A and B are shown apart, each in its own frame.
Chain A
């Protein structure tokens, strides 16, 4: 593959990605104060955050195919997530919660531990 083709290819991806990010700002520039936009601005971020959590944990399907089957990383994922929640409710230190949970997850996954 030629370098030119590669650059055109990358430019296409870059433009398409930027288009998805910039469209609302261009199309709705004058509607920023509209009550509906304010409504979405208030409620959409927490909803998106929760959806991102569900998405990140999507591999945990304990009842998939009608039997107990959480996949290789299913239970470590859930246990580490609980650790994050407990740590965060307890100390409310974002970095501590994240490092604690990640360390727990890495330990379980690397040792191949699963209940």
Chain B
């Protein structure tokens, strides 16, 4: 595939993310400028931090005059779900070479979702993964910059456009189900997701559900392992 075609393919794959990241990034840019941050700082955040909810939190903490330790702890807590993303990508990122640091840096919810839903034959295509990561961050940076620069002057009524990310997650869930053809992970997710919704405050919801799902999968593995390896003993 020629370079131009490869980028075209990656752009098409990231279009749904673009519909979500441009308005969300713009919302971040507007907020950053509203609390008195210079435009370069908002841009720097989207370039170096690159985490949606994390950046909104950072701006709120900055405005509240929080200390650095407090900021570090809050950021670690909010983003600790990323720990579980890495777990399921260990093998896939093997052999990614010079691309690996950026692939890890750019692991947002949306990039993780796109990567893990690629067809099996493309799963180890690290060049494609890099293009997806770069494009997604580009949408985020462009959105933030536009928000910081033109901010409140925007006249286009974009209310509701953030639903694009919800739609993306729905489509990717359907694709994962089609691929796997097993109910197990979806049943686990439904149970832990709904339980977290009922039991946990909003800010711990995502981490709680993902951690619980991982734990259930761990238990499932422990119960399955003897059945797989223990045939000789019984």
Write the nearest CB–CB distance from B97 to chain A, whole angstroms.
Answer: 13
Q: Secondary structure of the A side of the interface?
A: helix
Name the residue on B nearest A105 (C-beta). Answer: B163
Q: Is the CB of A98 within 8 A of B48?
A: no
**Interface band, chain A:** 35 or more
Q: Mark A6-32, 1 if CB is under 8 A from B, else 0.
A: 111111111111111111110011011
Q: Is the CB of B218 within 8 A of A54?
A: no
Residues of A within 8 A of B93 (CB): 25
Write the nearest CB–CB distance from B3 to chain A, whole angstroms.
Answer: 22
Q: Is the CB of A23 within 8 A of B83?
A: yes
Q: Which of B87, B160, B173 contacts A105 (CB 8 A)?
A: B160
Q: Secondary structure of the B side of the interface?
A: helix
Residues of B within 8 A of A97 (CB): 167, 170-171
Write the nearest CB–CB distance from B232 to chain A, whole angstroms.
Answer: 17
Q: What would 21 A/B residue contacts be, using CB atoms closer than 8 Å? A: A6-B62, A8-B68, A9-B58, A12-B72, A14-B48, A16-B71, A24-B86, A32-B91, A39-B220, A40-B214, A43-B185, A45-B116, A45-B176, A47-B213, A51-B193, A81-B167, A85-B170, A98-B19, A102-B161, A102-B164, A106-B158
Where the two chains meet, the residues of A that have a C-beta atom closer than 8 Å to any C-beta of B are: 1, 3, 6-25, 28-29, 31-33, 35-58, 73, 76-77, 80-81, 84-85, 88-89, 94-95, 97-99, 101-102, 105-106, 108-110
Known A6-B41, A46-B176; 18 more pairs at CB < 8 Å: A9-B71, A17-B50, A17-B75, A18-B105, A21-B86, A24-B90, A31-B90, A32-B91, A39-B224, A40-B84, A40-B88, A47-B210, A52-B169, A54-B209, A58-B205, A98-B168, A102-B163, A110-B159
